[in-house]
Amino acid sequence: MKLHDLQKTFAEALVLPNSFADDAKWRARGETAFTGNARVTPIGQLDIYREQFWIRHVNCLREDFPVLLALVGDEEFEAIARDYLAAYPPKKFQLRHLGEDLAEFLGTRDDALLADLAAVEWAFIDAFDAADAPPLDPATISAIAEDDWPNARLVLHPSLQLLRLAYPANRMRDAWWADKEKRPIERVEREPTNVVVYRHKMLLYTEVMDALPFEMLSLLASGKSLGAAGDELAASSGRSEEIESAIGAWFTRWSGLGWISRVVL
């Protein structure tokens, strides 16, 4: 067997959920492609690597999603992790990326709360690992003419994560991390919630936002200028006067929290 074919067979074998001993086709492939030794058969050797793949990857997901684990329990979490890894096999070498699609995967199931909780936990990982950016320079603000502000585009801090949730899963995460005994947690009732996860001075924070400023921030995060974002939000909400009167306070607060890194014309 050529080296490329051997590597492909080995990669496919690693992600099998069950022992090779249960699969006649894989037993035949393994015995043809690999050699054993005096202590372990070829199938036994492959099973060792296969089992280690699952142990390592499931444990990695346990570490990244401890609140989800606390909610569903170890047995259900392992079943979720195995189903997820089967549907989204790892495509990157770094284990840091292993859970990046878990919220999307859980969104295909019947429990939106689990998807929201996974999204919140992953947002903290992304916010922690995101690149840094210098704080907004006040001189930049004073240099912009009033007539130019509608064309200004706000560049947000790379750590900023914007989450539209069907459940306040952020409360569940906060409660679990505040509990020194790390006991199992209870489900929360459905309540649409807008959450921002961000890093400021090397610490991670969350902020729950009202719908109007959250939508404005989301439009700015998509790259729209202040004028275009304000017009779109006014048209969709019918609250143009409220937006016009509040935008200055929003900008001041977001700048103070470190959410805005630059203003670009």
Highest mean pLDDT among 48-52, 149-153, 166-170: 166-170
Q: Cα-atom radius of gyration of the chain, to the nearest Å?
A: 24
pLDDT (tens digit per residue) in 155-209: 999 999 999 999 999 999 999 999 999 999 999 999 999 999 999 988 999 999 9
Predicted pLDDT of residue 110: 87
Rounded distance between C-alpha atoms, residue 72 and residue 79, angstroms:
10
Of 150, 110, 154, 118, the residue nearest 257 (C-alpha): 154
SS3 236: helix
Predicted pLDDT of residue 26: 61
Residue type, 114: L
Rounded to the nearest angstrom, the gap between the alpha carbon of residue 140 and the centroid of all alpha carbons in its chain is 32
Query: Predicted confidence band at 11 (pLDDT cuts at 50, 70, 90)?
Result: low
Would the pLDDT of 262 be above 90? yes
Rounded distance between C-alpha atoms, residue 147 and residue 6, angstroms:
65
What is the residue-wise DSSP string for 23-59? -HHHHHHHHHH----SS--HHHHHHHHHHHHHHHHHH
Least confident of 66-70, 137-141, 174-178: 137-141
